[in-house]
A and B are shown apart, each in its own frame.
Chain A
Amino acid sequence: MRYETSFRLNGTPVSVSVEPSRTLLHVLREDLGMTGTKEGCTDSECGACMVLLDGEPLNACSYLAVQADGREVTTVEGLSAPDGSLSALQRAFLAHGGVQCGFCTPGMLISATALLARDPDPAEETVRAALSGNLCRCTGYQGIVQAVRSAAAEIREG
Chain B
Amino acid sequence: MAVVELPSFVRQDGREKVTGTARYSADLSTPGLLHAAVRLGGVAHARIRGIETARARALPGVVAIVTQADVPDLRYGTWVRDRTLFASDAIRWEGEIVAMVAATTEAIAREAAALIELDLEPLPPVVDLEAAIAPGAPLVHPGWAAYDGDARIPREGNVGSRHTIVKGDAEAALAGAPVVVRERYVADGSHALPIEPRAITAEWQGDRVTIQTSSQVPYLARTHVASTLGMPEGKVRVIVPHLGGGFGGKCEGHFEPHVAALARIARRPVRLAFDRREEFLAPDHHRERMVIDLATGVDHDGTILARSARILIDNGAYGADEPYLAQLAAVFAVGPYRIPAVATESLVVYTTTQPTGSVRGPVAPQVTWAVEQHMDVVAERLGIDPLELRRRNILVEGDEGPVRQRIGANGAKTALERAAEMIGWGRPLPADEAIGIATGWWPSFPGPSGAVVKLNADGSGTIVTGAQECGTGSVMALPILAAEVLGMRPEEFTLLYQDTDAGGWDAGASGSQTTFNNGRAVVSAATELRERLLALAAERLEANPADLELTDGVARVKGSPEAAIPIAELAAEAQGGRLLIADGSGDPPAVPEVDAGGCVGRLGGESFAAPCYFTQAVRVRVDRATGVVRVLEVAAAHESGTIVNPIGAEGQVLGGIVMGIGQALTEGTQLTPDGRQRNADMLDYKLVTAADAPPMRVEFVQVPDPNAGPRGLKGVAEPPAVPTPGAIANAIARAAGTRIRLLPMTAERVWADLADVEAGR
Contacts and interface: CB of A to CB of B under 8 A. Distances in A.
Nearest to B6: A97
B20 A35 contact: yes
Interface string B1-36: 000000010110111111111111011000000000
Interface in A106-155: 106, 109, 125, 127-129, 131-145
Interface of B: 8, 10-11, 13-24, 26-27, 193-197, 242-247, 275-276, 470-473, 647-648, 650-651, 654-659, 681-683, 687, 689-693, 695-696
Contacts of B470: 101
Given A35-B23, A140-B658, 6 more contacts: A36-B20, A43-B681, A100-B245, A132-B689, A138-B655, A141-B654
Contact of B471 (A100, A109, A141): A100
Contact of B20 (A77, A93, A95, A97): A77
Interface of A: 29, 34-43, 45-46, 48, 75-77, 79-80, 86, 90, 93-97, 99-106, 109, 125, 127-129, 131-145
Secondary structure at the B interface, as helix, strand, loop or mixed, is: loop
In the A-B complex, list the 8 residue pairs whose CB atoms are closest, starting with the nearest.
Answer: A36-B20, A101-B471, A102-B17, A103-B244, A140-B654, A76-B20, A35-B27, A140-B658
Given A131-B690, A136-B195, A138-B655, A100 B19 contact: no
A114 B246 CA distance: 29
Contact of B196 (A40, A97, A141): A40
A2 to B, nearest CB: 15
Nearest to B689: A132
Contacts of B472: 100, 138
Secondary structure at the A interface, as helix, strand, loop or mixed, is: loop
A37 B194 contact: no
A79 B19 contact: yes
A123 B247 CA distance: 31
Given A95-B10, A102-B471, A135-B689, A140 B696 contact: yes
A144 to B, nearest CB: 7
Contacts of B687: 135, 137
Contact of A76 (B10, B14, B19, B243): B19
Contacts of B242: 101-102
23 contacts: A38-B244, A41-B197, A76-B20, A79-B19, A80-B19, A93-B14, A94-B10, A94-B11, A99-B14, A99-B17, A100-B471, A100-B472, A100-B655, A102-B14, A103-B24, A103-B194, A109-B18, A127-B690, A137-B193, A137-B247, A140-B659, A141-B658, A141-B689
A154 B376 CA distance: 47
Given A45-B276, A99-B11, A103-B196, A86 B18 contact: yes
Given A80-B19, A141-B658, A102 B244 contact: yes
Listed residue (B10, B21, B194, B651) with the most chain A CB atoms within 10 angstroms of its CB: B651
A101 B683 contact: no
B195 A48 contact: yes
Contact of B197 (A40, A77, A129, A143): A40
Contacts of B648: 97
Contacts of B247: 137
A101 B682 contact: no
Contacts of A141: 654, 658, 689-690, 693
